[in-house]
Amino acid sequence: MRIGVLKESAPRERRVALTPDAAARLIKQGSSVAVERGAGAGAHYPDAAYEAAGCTLVDSAEAESADLVVAVRRPTAERAARLREGAVLVALSAGDPGEALAALNGRRVTVLALERVPRITRAQSMDVLSSQATVAGYRAVILGAEALPRFLPMLTTAAGSITPAKALVLGAGVAGLQAIATARRLGAMVTGFDVRAAAAEQVESLGARFLAPEAVAGDAETKGGYAKELAEEQQQKVLEAVAGAIGQADLVIATAAIPNRPAPRLITTAMVESMKPGSVIVDVSAETGGNCELTRPGETVHHADVTILGPLDLPAGMPQHASQMFGRNVQTLLDHLAPKGALTVDLDDEITGAMCLAHEGTLRHRGNG
């Protein structure tokens, strides 16, 4: 099997789909890997590192002609039209407007969307959403700490004692749990909140307090373990719980998300106005509309002496380790698709079938694009 690794072209995107170590594992198993020149440069993986791993450095046309093409983000429609007819593409597809998928389907390319990896035990090591959410949760706390006008940890100095900052993390999925762990490592007093009852134990296991268990809905979790939309009465209870805690927080990390839906609004303007002067909100869900109604994706908003950050592409801002984790996810998936070096697309397989957006000229799922 010949694998092509594309160089990313999306704004702010610095990750690469396969790192040299992941590529080396695939080569050892019998595949050949053709890497577009400069593909890893944004993540600090130079071309020389790929050559040392046994990869071949190629131009864009040769990378596009591979049997199986991997990318972080689905290529543009123009580039998709150049992929080899009948090839397999593995990439993230969320947010794509749809033209690229149509172009790929027109060339009978099999499109496997990485964001559709099912949440089952045997697919955990292929789950790029979880690995990249880990990066996002970590970076959100670092960005928030930088924006705060105060320390996070307690300090005892000759100039007096500094009390620790209070952090509130909304949403206890992978990003939220990593944010809790990071804020705790930095010395903050942390409270976590999630609508899923099962999250309480996870939050407390990290040494944080769980907020308002009486507001948690026992049926607020999908079979896949994600939060789901709440009924109006339940949503009102959630807002009341958040409103009761947010005024005490110095730093709020908002990570609540619902798959394939706009981010739930958990922070109102009135809540922001109740916060302490100098407080900071980092809205990790900015790309899907934001948990705070004042969030502007990609911008920093100042309102009532509160700073609201709406960062985009958080994992791409830490591209080296984000790529390492992404590449390991992709390598494990490719091991699944070609266990003996021979590529097989089995749509009856619970992993492959769930990921497949297009196959042999037929659109199966449109995903988010």
Per residue in 171-228, pLDDT (tens digit) is 999 999 999 999 999 999 999 999 888 899 999 999 999 996 565 555 555 555 555 5
Q: Residue 194 catalytic?
A: no
Active-site residue, 119 included:
yes
pLDDT at 369: 43
Residue range(s) occupied by CATH 3.40.50.720 in the chain:
2-116+319-358, 133-317
- pLDDT band per the 50, 70, 90 thresholds, residue 365: confident
To the query of whether residue 50 is one of the catalytic residues in this protein, the response is: no
Average pLDDT along the chain = 93
Q: Could you confirm whether 107 is annotated as catalytic?
A: no
Residue 261 — pLDDT band, cuts 50, 70, 90? confident
HEC states along 289-325? CCCECCCCCCCEEEECCEEEECCCCCHHHCHHHHHHH
Model confidence at 118, pLDDT cuts 50, 70, 90, reads very high
| Residues 236, 237, 239, 240, CA torsion sign | positive
Q: For residue 339, what pLDDT is reported? A: 85
Residue 25: predicted pLDDT = 96
Q: How far apart are CA 222 and CA 261, in angstroms?
A: 14
pTM: predicted TM-score of the whole model, two decimal places: 0.92
Confidence (pLDDT) at 220: 56
Residue 62 has pLDDT above 80, yes or no: yes
Q: Which residue has the higher pLDDT, 72 or 221?
A: 72
DSSP helix/strand/coil, 68: strand
CA distance 193 to 215: 10
Residue 198 has what pLDDT? 84
Cα-based torsion angle of the residue sequence 224, 228, 346, 23 in order, rounded to the nearest 10 degrees: -80
What pLDDT is recorded for position 12? 93
| Residue 190, CA distances (Å) to 144, 177, 214 in order | 14, 11, 19
The catalytically annotated residue of 119, 184, 185, 296 is 119
pLDDT at 323: 98
Q: What pLDDT does residue 225 have?
A: 52
The predicted pLDDT at position 61 comes to 97
Query: Residues 94-112: what's their mean pLDDT?
Result: 88
Q: 289: closest CA among 252, 321, 337, 257? A: 257
Whether the predicted pLDDT of 134 surpasses 70: yes
Cα–Cα distance for residue pair 84/88, rounded to 1 Å? 9
Catalytic residue chosen out of the listed positions 96, 127, 194, 283: 127
**Residue 271 dihedral angles phi and psi, to the nearest 5°:** -65, -45
**What pLDDT score was predicted for residue 224?**
53
Catalytic residue among 226, 265, 296, 364: 226
Clarify whether 12 is annotated catalytic.
no
pLDDT at 197: 83
Kindly report the CATH number that applies to the domain delimited by 133-317: 3.40.50.720
Q: In what order do the strands lie in the sheet with 251-254?
A: 209-210, 189-193, 166-170, 251-254, 280-283, 306-309, 300-303
Q: What is the pLDDT of residues 289-327, one digit of tens each?
A: 999 999 999 999 999 999 999 999 999 999 999 999 999
Q: How far apart are CA 74 and CA 92, in angstroms?
A: 6
Homologous superfamily (CATH) for 2-116+319-358: NAD(P)-binding Rossmann-like Domain (3.40.50.720)
- Which of the residues 9, 59, 82, 124 is marked catalytic? 124
Average pLDDT for 328-345 = 92
Indicate which residue of 31, 93, 130, 132 is catalytic. Answer: 130
Structure confidence by residue, pLDDT tens digits, 29-47: 999 999 999 999 999 999 9
pLDDT at 137 over 90: yes
CB atoms within 10 A of CB 352: 19
pLDDT at 237 over 60: yes
